[in-house]
Amino acid sequence: MDGAIPGTNGTLHSIYDYTSTEKAQLIWAVAIGTIIGTIPYNWMYVRYGAKNVFLSAGIISLVATSCTPFAAANNYVLLLIIRLIQGIAYAADFAVIGIICVKWAPHDEVAFFVSVLTVFSPFATVITTAVTGFLCTSSFGWRSSFYVHSVAGALCFFLWYIVYSDDPLSHSSVTSRELASIQKGKSAAHFDKKREIPYLKMITNSALVCTWFNAFMDLSMSIMIITYSPIYFNTVLEFPIEQTAFIIGITNFAQLPFKFGAAFVSDRITSINPKLKMLIFNTISCGIVSILFGGLGFISKDQKWLAMFLLIAVNCLMSTNCAGFYQCGRHVSQQFADVVIAAIQFCKCLALFFVPAIVAATVSDESDRGQWSHAFLVMSGLLLVANFSAYIFFTDQPAEFTKCEEPHDFPLKGSVNDEKL
């Protein structure tokens, strides 16, 4: 047996057979690391740009990932430290999405940028699960999964380094027409590396607090689905757990038409007021989702395929959030949108603690549908409250702390790149 050690009664057991508490600690270590890293990474992005800072996060992540098999085989505390380091590196992800949107996204394409950049999470889940499943059952063994992902990550970050530029003006592939589109309606503060972040004004802005509340509940719902729906569908509705996991994986791809459709409407349909658009999509991604999810707990196993349909609908409709609370955060914060999006990742870390606490408080018997219905109702109720709060606090008007200067006329590129038009 791989990593076998003698137990208290003389039998052998694997050192990789972690208790439920240890499994929770390994998850929480990543969450704690992300909480620790969120503010420092955001500060470094503002001061030094995204190119080298995100590269450094990638290097840290690659080294930590490649060291995981060694840590797992030798010392549980070392493994926790490795997971903590991975969490710190993970903190760079959402902040870099915000930076790219601020610096590279034209005002009429922000929703599209957000929709494209946020697909990394569901895609990564599907791809890494498939690759890991293959490697773990092959002659290469489970350790090879960490090494393969490290190599793949190194390739991705190499491409990042040679392709990305912190300033569209200095990128050789950007034409004058594209640059004009990117800079239209923006101020110099959008590109200033020495800007001061008004943290206090941001965390006391009612529209941004409402944005983060909606994001927190939306992400909590997502974590609830990913973590606990396979358990519920297996123990209560008697679905094979592999079938549930497979269907959830497929819906990650099924989200794309909904995500990109919402982004198109948000960016391109100008006949609808921006505030009305964000409220419509926030109602779809939070309000309607809360009602559908709350109904899951009241469906018997005789109607289990109806429950599966509801789960698929919830997963798909949640993907329209790129045109909901994300847009409110972007409109209100303007050049500080990267800070808002970084804070959304902070909300995700808090959700990793919040959701297990809700389940632990309401579910003691995983085979009891009534107990699960309580957990579902708590989650759906809070998400519905978040959605209703949006009708009070959401706005499409920039906050006062963003109005430091008027839109600026930027220099355009010369005729060299214009030849590409």
Q: 410: alpha, beta or left, given left = phi > 0 and alpha = psi -120 to 50?
A: beta
- Rounded distance, CA 115 to CA 104, Å? 14
Q: What is the DSSP code string of 207-266?
A: HHHHHHHHHHHHHHHHHHHHHHHHHHHHHTS---HHHHHHHHHHHHHHHHHHHHHHHHHH
Confidence of residue 411 (pLDDT cuts 50, 70, 90): low
Confidence of residue 61 (pLDDT cuts 50, 70, 90): very high
Mean pLDDT of all residues in 39-59 = 90
Helix (H) or strand (E) run with residue 362 in it = helix 337-362
Strand-pair partners of 4: 14
Mean pLDDT of all residues in 60-68 = 95
Higher pLDDT, 415 or 203: 203
Say what percent of the chain tops pLDDT 70. Answer: 89
Mean pLDDT of all residues in 182-205 = 77
For residue 207, count other CB atoms closer than 10 A to its CB: 21
Q: Which of 80, 72, 97, 74 is nearest to 30 (CA)?
A: 80
Q: What is the pLDDT of residue 420?
A: 44
- Rounded distance, CA 28 to CA 70, Å? 20
Q: What is the pLDDT of residue 1?
A: 47
Mean pLDDT of all residues in 345-357 = 87
**DSSP 8-class letter at 412:** P
Residues 6+ apart with CB under 8 A from 219: 344, 347, 348, 351
pLDDT reading at 8 higher than 60: no
Least reliable range by pLDDT among 14-18, 94-98, 110-114? 14-18
Mean pLDDT of all residues in 145-158 = 94
Q: Is the domain defined by 16-181+199-397 classed in CATH 1.20.1250.20?
A: yes
Confidence of residue 189 (pLDDT cuts 50, 70, 90): low
Least reliable range by pLDDT among 15-19, 37-41, 413-417? 413-417
Residue 80 in tokens:
């926790």
Strand-pair partners of 18: none
Phi then psi for residue 12, to 5 deg, are -90, 145
Helix (H) or strand (E) run with residue 4 in it = strand 4-6
pLDDT tens by residue, 208-227: 999 999 999 999 998 898 88
Confidence of residue 326 (pLDDT cuts 50, 70, 90): very high
Q: Cβ(287)–Cβ(345) under 8 Å?
A: no
Q: What is the pLDDT of residue 265?
A: 93
For residue 296, count other CB atoms closer than 10 A to its CB: 26
Residue 210: exposure state from Cβ atoms within 10 A (0-12, 13-18, ≥19): buried
Helix (H) or strand (E) run with residue 14 in it = strand 12-14
Q: What is the pLDDT of residue 418?
A: 47
CA distances from 310 to 234, 289, 297, 313, 373 (A): 16, 9, 11, 5, 14
pLDDT reading at 413 higher than 70: no
Least reliable range by pLDDT among 38-42, 156-160, 203-207? 38-42
Mean pLDDT of all residues in 244-256 = 75
Q: How much is the mean pLDDT over the chain?
A: 85
Ranges of each domain in the chain = 16-181+199-397
Q: What is the pLDDT of residue 10?
A: 52
- Rounded distance, CA 104 to CA 163, Å? 13
pLDDT reading at 259 higher than 60: yes
Helix (H) or strand (E) run with residue 93 in it = helix 92-104
pLDDT reading at 382 higher than 90: yes
pLDDT reading at 406 higher than 70: no
Q: What is the pLDDT of residue 78?
A: 95
Least reliable range by pLDDT among 132-146, 190-204, 317-331? 190-204
pLDDT reading at 410 higher than 60: no
Beta strands in 92-222 (DSSP E): none
Mean pLDDT of all residues in 288-316 = 89
Least reliable range by pLDDT among 86-100, 147-161, 272-286, 312-326? 86-100
pLDDT reading at 192 higher than 70: no
Q: Cβ(59)–Cβ(157) under 8 Å?
A: yes
Q: Which of 50, 339, 45, 337 is nearest to 166 (CA)?
A: 50
pLDDT reading at 409 higher than 70: no
Q: What is the pLDDT of residue 417?
A: 46
Mean pLDDT of all residues in 227-234 = 84
Q: What is the pTM of this model?
A: 0.81
Say what percent of the chain tops pLDDT 90. Answer: 40
Helix (H) or strand (E) run with residue 55 in it = helix 50-74
Residues 6+ apart with CB under 8 A from 327: 110, 111, 266, 274, 277, 278, 281, 396
